[in-house]
Structure 1
Amino acid sequence: MKKEIYITDYNCVTPLGFDVDSNWEALLAGQSGVALHQIIENQDAFYASCINSEKLDEEFDRNFTGNTAQNFTRLEKMLLLSMKPLVEKHTISEETAFILSTTKGNISLLKNQTELPEGVYLSQLAQKIADFFGFKTKPIVVSNACVSGVMAVAVARNMIQAGKYRDAFVIAGDEISEFVISGFNSFQAIGSEPCKPYDKNRNGINIGEAAAAVYITADPSENENFRFKVSGDSAINDANHISGPSRTGDGLYGSIRNAMVEANVSAEQIDFISAHGTATVYNDEMESIAFSRMNLQNVPLNSMKGFYGHCLGASGLLESIISMESALQNTLLPSKNFEEMGVSQPLNIIRENQSATVKYILKTASGFGGCNAAIVLEKC
């Protein structure tokens, strides 16, 4: 019989705040991190969700006295801040895994460089964070486009169940960079206004940035404030296109089905869906088809992209954390900016803060290259 695996602690650093409590208060008030920003010189401002760099430096200096800002990149400071409260509460042993989820890591270091600078490889970034906190095992990097955050939780779960580790710290982070913006611009995927997932008038994504961290264990202590069992997980590639999802939602449908079967839950038992919802035409339509095929069209659903933008490798973990906080607070948040249904299949999209009793959460993600992932979280 497989071990039961639990998430018992979490934290996040976002444009809405540097801990979960401040994020939750902002979300309840309907605040969004998405605003007009001038990020690339000689280009028009566009909508994105950015962390204030001055506030980030202040928070870092306050938390890490004696560690000068010059020693760490902006992304590294985000990651260190998100991880610090968890490390202070949970012991790092010889059997503790460190897992980093990111898509581009310190890609900004490449700007105006003729040679590869130190720290640009994802393995180097992971090792630097692991060394800072004193991890004794070799870091694991999960970098699979925009499903990375969800997959990192699944990797931790499966490795602990297999006896490779006793527990794990999973951390995720990505920052806005010229490289990322240029990439999405090449697809003409960036919206000209705050994004509207699933809405008839959506016209593209807003890029965001964040860091998030969770602690995962098979042996939770008695004094944990909460427990969420990772009851099922699955990842499937639909092998459709380098950037376009399957029009029939095959990969996402299969991921959801497998995760729910492993969790032994039916569509009627799922209380809430935290969907990917990028506000692009093809992604949102594909998701509606996959959810409909799984008979999940009546389950309350939101996308957090209207609040945070698309935070790439951090999005899946950040949105999982907000989902768990929603369950603890018995409150479901709206899918911000949604007004009129813009997908072919019906969805129960949340339009305003609403009270709810949540036991089972379905979290999904999809990304470039045809990757799809799903996890089922159970509040204990």
Structure 2
Amino acid sequence: MKNPVYMLSDSVVTPLGNTIEENMDKLYAKTSAIRPYSHAQMGTLFHSQFSETDTFPTKKDSGAYTKIERLFIYSIEQAVAKLSSTIDQKNVLFVFASTKGNIEYLADPDFDPERLRIGIMADYVARYFNNPNKPVVVSNACISGLQAIQYACQILQHKKYSHVIVSGADCVSEFVLSGFYSFQALSPFPCTPFDKRRAGVSLGEGCGTVILSSQPESDTNIEIRAAVSSNDANHLSGPSRTGEGLVSAIKAVIKEADIQPSEIDVISAHGTATIYNDEMEALAFQTIGVSAAPVYSVKGNIGHTLGAAGIVETIYLANSMHLNKIIPSAGFSETGTSVVLNVVREAVPQKLTIGLKTASGFGGGNAAIILKKQK
């Protein structure tokens, strides 16, 4: 990127906890929020979901907002509160990532059908903050979160806005569960990324928010060195078996970041625990020459949060870099890919300067981001 982009502030809300500190503590302890749930037609399912008592209290009355809208508002308010300076909403652009939005209300005859559109949902949230600018929505399957960050970085190059608030959220609903169930992609136990016994994905819900700017607030702000996406056009729901699309994205992001593969200290993988995704990622890492780098996936902790995943997991990576402590891959026991990766089994103290985050999704999408710690 021509101009640097910095992560000034962040917030993560998942069933592991309502703050980034709570989430990091649980990740390092290899705590999983994935639980069994019974469904009359689909049987026992495993996913990570907020309890019915989680209300996500906001500063202003949010009674008129849906669950996902309250999640967005709650997370964004936390991130804004952590900023060192006050920002003028006229100079702020909101970028939202979500794959399903308010889809859980699809069968509710009393729900405004217009609000099922993710763009309308985004308008509701932006108006809560009295933001006068039209929000942008990125909805491109499982790479939505990383592409939202990529778009924000591109926008900041033009210096039209001082800050871009990127927020991603998705909720578990019967609509989403039935879709993955029909693909026979759901694991019959809490998912185990990269493990020999992996048998599918566990879904999860949550929200992550990161506030970006081309001007850092301090020399400890993590820099987004590069963000790239690609498409292998392999299949509607299956990634290229060789990982060629992901290889393309990682090669491009390394070139744009002006680093060597050997400089990557840690990889936050997509790691969905499906047979083909994990194998494809392992092959891609080998092709790039980073298969020896420490790698992990947090899907075993919080499940796959879909449109939120790229943002939540980028925030986790940035915070682990601040702490110089690698996140362990919950559920991993024995290598299950043809390429033996350096999957992290326990929380490891290590100096972390450069991190790689990857994602892949339905439709052949792939994305990669390079983070660099300034100090």
Report TM bin, short chain: over 0.9
Q: Deviations over 1:319-366 (max 9, x none)?
A: 111111111111111111111111111211001111011010100000
- Which residue among 351, 356, 363 is the counterpart of 1:357? 351
CA distance in 1, matches of 2:339, 2:26: 31
- Which residue among 53, 59, 67 is the counterpart of 1:64? 59
User: Is 1:129 the counterpart of 2:125 in the alignment?
Assistant: yes
CA distance in 1, matches of 2:343, 2:301: 15
Indicate the residue corresponding to 2:2 in structure 1: 2
CA distance in 2, matches of 1:192, 1:253: 30
Indicate the residue corresponding to 1:183 in structure 2: 179
For residue 16 of structure 1, report the CA deviation from its aligned partner: 0.6
Residue type of the alignment partner of 1:245? P
Indicate the residue corresponding to 1:52 in structure 2: 51
User: Is 1:288 the counterpart of 2:288 in the alignment?
Assistant: no
Query: Are the equivalent residues in 2 in contact too, given 1:87–1:133 (CA < 8 A)?
Result: no
Indicate the residue corresponding to 1:250 in structure 2: 244
Q: Which moved more, 1:80-89 or 1:18-27?
A: 80-89
Is the partner of 2:254 in helix, strand or coil? helix
Sequence identity (%)? 38
Residue type of the alignment partner of 1:50? Q
- Which residue among 62, 66, 83 is the counterpart of 1:73? 66
Residue type of the alignment partner of 2:124? K
Q: Deviations over 1:71-116 (max 9, x none)?
A: 1111111111110022333413323110000000000111243986
- Which residue among 245, 261, 266 is the counterpart of 2:260? 266
User: Is 1:161 the counterpart of 2:160 in the alignment?
Assistant: no
Indicate the residue corresponding to 1:333 in structure 2: 327
**Aligned-CA RMSD value:** 1.6
Residue type of the alignment partner of 1:75? I
For residue 42 of structure 1, report the CA deviation from its aligned partner: 5.2
Query: Are the equivalent residues in 2 in contact too, given 1:92–1:134 (CA < 8 A)?
Result: no
TM-score (norm 1): 0.94
Indicate the residue corresponding to 1:20 in structure 2: 20
Is the partner of 1:200 in helix, strand or coil? coil
CA distance in 2, matches of 1:113, 1:289: 47
User: Where does the alignment leave 5 or more consecutive residues of structure 2 unmatched?
Assistant: none
Indicate the residue corresponding to 1:32 in structure 2: 32
Q: Which moved more, 1:302-311 or 1:112-121?
A: 112-121
CA distance in 1, matches of 2:312, 2:318: 10
Query: Are the equivalent residues in 2 in contact too, given 1:110–1:116 (CA < 8 A)?
Result: no
CA distance 1:93–1:301, change in 2 (3 Å): same
Map 1:230-241; keep pairs closer than 5 Å: 230-241=224-235
For residue 29 of structure 1, report the CA deviation from its aligned partner: 2.1
Q: Which moved more, 1:183-192 or 1:329-338?
A: 329-338
Query: Are the equivalent residues in 2 in contact too, given 1:7–1:216 (CA < 8 A)?
Result: yes
For residue 41 of structure 1, report the CA deviation from its aligned partner: 4.8
TM-score (norm 2): 0.95
CA distance in 2, matches of 1:115, 1:21: 36
Residue type of the alignment partner of 1:255? A
For residue 177 of structure 1, report the CA deviation from its aligned partner: 0.6
CA distance 1:114–1:82, change in 2 (3 Å): closer
Query: Are the equivalent residues in 2 in contact too, given 1:100–1:172 (CA < 8 A)?
Result: yes
Indicate the residue corresponding to 1:196 in structure 2: 192
Is the partner of 1:158 in helix, strand or coil? helix
CA distance in 1, matches of 2:52, 2:9: 26
User: Is 1:348 the counterpart of 2:342 in the alignment?
Assistant: yes
Indicate the residue corresponding to 2:109 in structure 1: 113
CA distance in 2, matches of 1:82, 1:339: 33
Query: Are the equivalent residues in 2 in contact too, given 1:292–1:346 (CA < 8 A)?
Result: no
Aligned length: 371
Query: Are the equivalent residues in 1 in contact too, given 2:105–2:111 (CA < 8 A)?
Result: no
Residue type of the alignment partner of 2:212? I
Is the partner of 1:337 in helix, strand or coil? coil
- Which residue among 96, 99, 103 is the counterpart of 1:100? 96
Residue type of the alignment partner of 1:340? E
CA distance 1:251–1:31, change in 2 (3 Å): same
CA distance in 2, matches of 1:186, 1:12: 30
Query: Are the equivalent residues in 1 in contact too, given 2:32–2:302 (CA < 8 A)?
Result: yes
CA distance in 2, matches of 1:299, 1:329: 18
Residue type of the alignment partner of 1:82? S
Residue type of the alignment partner of 1:74? K
For residue 200 of structure 1, report the CA deviation from its aligned partner: 1.0
